[in-house]
Amino acid sequence: MFHSRHFTPVPLAEGIYALEATETGGAMSNAGIIDMGGFILVFDTFNTPQAGKDLSEAARQLFGEQPVKYVVNSHWHGDHVRGNQHFTGAVIVSTSRTREMMLKTQPAWLARMQPLLPQLAADLSAVSDKLAAETDTAVRTRLSGERQVLLEIQESIETLTITCPELTYESKLTIRGTKRSVELLSLGQAHTVCDSVLYSPADALIFGGDVIAAYNHPLFQDGDPHSWLGALDRLEALGARTVVPGHGPVSNASCIGAMRQYIHDLLNLIGTLQAAGTDADIAGIPVPDAYRDWKAAGVFTRNLEFLLQEQE
Ligand SMILES: [Zn+2]
């Protein structure tokens, strides 16, 4: 099995792997590799070029010399598209709206990050000095974790070439191989202004991008939680047995229901606050018990703030 510090390959069906992001690598989100029969399709490319490079290598090792012909970007967020540059020769596909948003946001992000490199180098050398002087094992583990994160960021800024989709679609695109056909479906506005999912009918399997987060707080602020609920209904109606979320472990259809519940719960929370008519102290609202173990806990408060502003 291919080994990478960025992800763990999880076999899902004959010819289909999910790549689950590790805690400490440069992937940040999940991706997929599908043997279509005659060619390979990759779904999303992680947060950094170095993780994208390993993804490309994994495709080659898992499926031999079959070329990666298509790379799908589920949405424009950097943690799903920054490995694109390592798929030269493949056609990168997204909805036209996702491509527009990538062009609008990704070069600007890189231009903001590049001037931070000197500070990053200074932070790295400070952490390295501390690490060299530290003898306590627990502190050393924490410091080397911090150092690894900084190294991943440094490498990604230094090596990133913004690479955008060249093939775009609007509502549905079917890609046919000799082994299977898959459908790219635009669910419209959900986690962002336009989210794509990949559906393989023969495998009853969905790569959900960030329309689905499992045991992770999903970010509301770039999308619309109201139409997100409709997107989840459409997704559920496909009847998939395997659902690969954008974040969190590979799941089944239950994670679609969990997302719906999360959105409803937060909308209800805001509704109750507003009915009480007092100035809400959003930061003081604790994460509900049902979501206490979910990762990215800071996103919970941001989501409430977003919903409150939306009402104003
Ligand atoms: Zn996202």
CA of 136 to the centre of ligand 1 (A): 37
Rounded Cα distance, 44 and 228, in Å: 20
CA of 177 to the centre of ligand 1 (A): 28
CA of 247 to the centre of ligand 1 (A): 9
How many folded domains does the chain comprise?
A: 3
Same structural domain for residues 195 and 91? yes
Which phi and psi angles does 8 have, rounded to 5°? -120, 120
Res 278: pLDDT: 67
Res 273: pLDDT: 85
CA of 300 to the centre of ligand 1 (A): 15
3-state secondary structure string across the chain? CCCCCCEEEEEEECCEEEEEECCCCCCCCCEEEEECCCCEEEECCCCCHHHHHHHHHHHHHHHCCCCEEEEECCCCCHHHCCCHHHCCCCEEEEEHHHHHHHHHHHHHHHHHHHHHHHHHHHHHHHHHHHHHHCCCHHHHHHHHHHHHHHHHHHHHHHHCCCCCCCEEECCEEEEECCCCEEEEEECCCCCCCCCEEEEEHHHCEEECHHHCECCECCCCCCCCHHHHHHHHHHHHHCCCCEEECCECCCECCHHHHHHHHHHHHHHHHHHHHHHHCCCCCHHHCCCCHHHCCCECCHHHHHHHHHHHHHHC
58 within domain boundaries: yes
Same structural domain for residues 18 and 66? yes
Same structural domain for residues 33 and 18? yes
In whole angstroms, how far apart are CA 95 and each of 71, 77, 85, 142?
A: 12, 13, 18, 40
> Which residue range forms the structural domain that includes residue 298?
262-311
CA of 219 to the centre of ligand 1 (A): 7
CA of 157 to the centre of ligand 1 (A): 19
pTM: 0.95
- Give the CA count within 13 Å in the CB-facing half-sphere of 270: 19
CA of 77 to the centre of ligand 1 (A): 5
CA of 195 to the centre of ligand 1 (A): 9
CA of 27 to the centre of ligand 1 (A): 13
CA of 116 to the centre of ligand 1 (A): 23
Rounded Cα distance, 83 and 58, in Å: 13
Res 284: pLDDT: 86
Same structural domain for residues 75 and 130? no
Same structural domain for residues 40 and 173? yes
49 within domain boundaries: yes
Q: What tens digit of pLDDT does each residue of 119-146 get?
A: 999 999 999 999 999 999 999 999 999 9
Res 275: pLDDT: 84
CA of 78 to the centre of ligand 1 (A): 8
- Which residues, given as ranges, of the chain have pLDDT below 50? none
CA of 47 to the centre of ligand 1 (A): 10
Same structural domain for residues 177 and 65? yes
CB 10 within 8 A of CB 3: no
CA of 125 to the centre of ligand 1 (A): 31
CA of 75 to the centre of ligand 1 (A): 7
2 within domain boundaries: no
Res 89: pLDDT: 94
CA of 209 to the centre of ligand 1 (A): 7
Same structural domain for residues 90 and 180? yes
